[in-house]
Amino acid sequence: MVKKQYIASNYIRRQSADWKTGKKNMVFGFTYLVFTMILGLYLNARITGGSEFLIPADRSMLSSALLYANIDAVLNIAVGYLICRLPFVDWLGKSVSALMLVGAILHSGMLYAAGLGFFPFATALLPVGIIMIAIVVFVMSLGVISLKTIK
């Protein structure tokens, strides 16, 4: 049985020296997931408790925020794992990590802020977060595609 090994292209190194960068994303992802689940339970209890806590439009915005926060948290965990495993150049790994962290906050975090009425302009920042996450997904897919199988 032949074991498959992967080699990297010229733009990425064999092993990432800064493994802490990927772990930051994984810790943030797990923390964000737990935080948004607790916040979702709290808001659900407030809404179903009979109080007129939010108008219906804000309720639907918050349910969308919970969904997107879960997706952002799982993406942060996956990106963090890939940053630890793929041999990225240090500056590229740190850039992807920072884009993913800020993108998650600007995407689902601002949706929460708008739904709770903290920042009325928060929905204007949503496309910036979506673009950041799309850039990260593109760069990570290039990193995975650039690996070549050798025998």
Query: For residues 80 and 97, is the Cβ–Cβ distance under 8 A?
Result: yes
The predicted model scores a pTM of 0.77
Query: Over the stretch 44-89, which tens digit does the pLDDT of each residue have?
Result: 777 776 666 666 667 777 888 889 999 999 999 999 988 888 777 7
Domain boundaries, the chain: 22-150
Amino acid at 78: A
On average, the pLDDT of the chain sits at 80
DSSP character at residue 122:
G
**Can you list the positions of beta strands (E) in the chain?**
5-7, 148-150
Q: What's residue 18's pLDDT?
A: 57
